[in-house]
Chain A
Amino acid sequence: MVLQSSLKNCLQLSCIFRTPKAGFRSTTTGGLIIQSISNDVYQNLAVEDWIHDHMNLENRPVLFLWRNSPAVVIGRHQNPWQLMRQKNIKLARRRSGGGTVYHDLGNINLTFFTTRKKYERMENLKLVVKALKGLRPQLDVHVTDRYDILLDRQYKISGTAAKLGGTAAYHHCTLLCNADKFVLSSVLTSPYRGLKSNATPSVPASVKNLFEEDPSLTCEMLLDAIAEEYAAQHQIDHHISLINPADETVLPGINNKTKELQTWEWVYGKTPKFSISTCFNLVYQDSVLDVKVDMDVKHGRIEVCNIDLPEQWLPPALCSELVKSLTGSKFCPNETTALTTTLPRVCPQDSELHSRWNLLCENMTMLM
């Protein structure tokens, strides 16, 4: 019965995770293959963190298989403002380096955990290619020296990133089976004009789904083929253990890791220092005004702010109040809106002034 077997899997897993340094069990000598039962990007990233921090990978590498419901995932040192302007999709920052990817259930994620010494991305990617070719020999797939996997020599079907810790390391990659390419391209192509930063850039690529090449392929088939190849190469059972990323008994401390990954401080606050230099037009009654804004943002907070308005359009005292309250606050539309709705109480009851104020603040918020 399905329920019983997954319970059994979870129990086996808890024994493995609790006594990592104990003797090997026959099913886990030489390696372990686990798959997440969750599609939540934060929970799954937390599992990666947990394995990296707690498991002894000496002679026992781990392959972790996971899929997420729609989300954009940026690299450790990327700038989310620079890359993505859509607010209605989940955004996560992973701990590995590299660029931005879009995940949905048509994309599979593979994480290869090893000791730092045994870290070897090319080997892992060749394993994936071997699995794909074993499944469909006619597929033209190969690994580039940028660690991408290309289909038909031109379409990217997999991107790679990695993290090297003290003793452990992991290499993870995506694999496009049947992802929504329309959403992918619309979410990932939104450059922010006027933003200067030395954050890790993202290199856009032409992508294709394996499903488009061969409609008989499914995510399940790909996962299974890769697990089988991994098992063969590590001489272990072709057995996939299911893992529940919310289970504190198997993964003590996991829920704190999941929470941390969702904090504003992690997702936005970890952005390398950047500056904005931009201008916008205010259309007010019959005139169009030019406003120039310069800001330095560090740890996601406005460190320096300068707003250039046409003289006397707003009383200078009010303008400097705005600059003062923005300085030190989060570069975040919610926070700015909260600030700007309280400020007008200090200024005289003048509806003309209020509408000018609101117009300016609205535009400021749109920059974030």
Chain B
Amino acid sequence: ARKFTDKHEWISVENDIGTVGISHFAQEALGDVVYCSLPEIGTKLSKHDEFGALESVKAASELYSPLSGEVTEINAALADNPGLVNKSCYQDGWLIKMTVENPAE
């Protein structure tokens, strides 16, 4: 199930790993993404922590962690193709994967 935060990030949990991305509304508001700044694998995040930023033609926009956990994977495709965030925000444009420390969150 995909859950949304009030900052328009989404998280979808499967087998205790959450995949995080931004919503269609957010990618549209941002405009064409030209650069994705993502954390290192192993970074520990608390809910609401800033974990990275997206730079678009409009602005630099911070990304906030929807849950607490540890980063297990980042979407390497975004380095050469940041536009995936706009084109496929729910599929190929995912940002990071993380463990879910506290399912209650």
Q: A residues touching B (Cβ–Cβ < 8 Å)?
A: 75-77, 95-98, 119, 121, 161-166, 169, 171, 198-200, 272
Q: Which of B70-93 contact A (CB under 8 A)?
A: 79-80
Known: A97-B55, A198-B80, A272-B35. A166 touches B60 (CB 8 A): no
Interface string of B28-57 (1 = CB under 8 A from A): 001000110100000000000000010110
B79, A198: Cβ atoms under 8 Å?
yes
A-B contacts at CB below 8 angstroms, number: 53
Q: Chain A's nearest CB lies how many Å from the CB of B79? A: 6
Contacts of B56 in A (CB 8 A): 97
B35, A200: Cβ atoms under 8 Å?
yes
- 11 new A-B contacts at CB < 8 Å, known A97-B55, A200-B34: A75-B60, A76-B53, A76-B60, A77-B37, A97-B60, A161-B59, A161-B60, A163-B60, A164-B59, A171-B59, A272-B35
B58, A162: Cβ atoms under 8 Å?
yes
B60, A96: Cβ atoms under 8 Å?
yes
Q: Complex: how many Å from CA A76 to CA B55? A: 8
A sample of 17 inter-chain contacts (CB < 8 A) reads A76-B60, A77-B37, A97-B55, A97-B56, A97-B60, A98-B60, A161-B59, A163-B60, A163-B61, A164-B30, A164-B60, A164-B62, A166-B62, A199-B35, A200-B34, A200-B55, A272-B37
The one of A163, A166, A199 in contact with B59, judged by C-beta atoms closer than 8 angstroms, is: A163
Contacts of B7 in A (CB 8 A): 166
Majority secondary structure, B binding face: strand
Contacts of A164 in B (CB 8 A): 30, 58-62
Contacts of A98 in B (CB 8 A): 60
Q: Complex: how many Å from CA A235 to CA B79? A: 45
Contacts of A119 in B (CB 8 A): 59
Q: Complex: how many Å from CA A169 to CA B61? A: 9
Closest to B64 in A: A166
Q: Chain B's nearest CB lies how many Å from the CB of A146? A: 9
Q: Complex: how many Å from CA A166 to CA B7? A: 6
Q: Complex: how many Å from CA A165 to CA B56? A: 13
Contacts of A95 in B (CB 8 A): 60
Q: Complex: how many Å from CA A121 to CA B58? A: 9
Identify which of B30, B53, B59, B62 gathers the most chain A CB atoms within 10 Å of its CB: B59
Q: Complex: how many Å from CA A169 to CA B30? A: 12
Q: Complex: how many Å from CA A164 to CA B55? A: 10
Q: Chain B's nearest CB lies how many Å from the CB of A23? A: 26
The one of B55, B59, B64 in contact with A169, judged by C-beta atoms closer than 8 angstroms, is: B59
By Cβ-Cβ distance, the 10 closest A-B pairs, closest first, are A162-B59, A97-B60, A164-B61, A97-B55, A76-B60, A164-B59, A77-B35, A163-B60, A77-B55, A96-B60
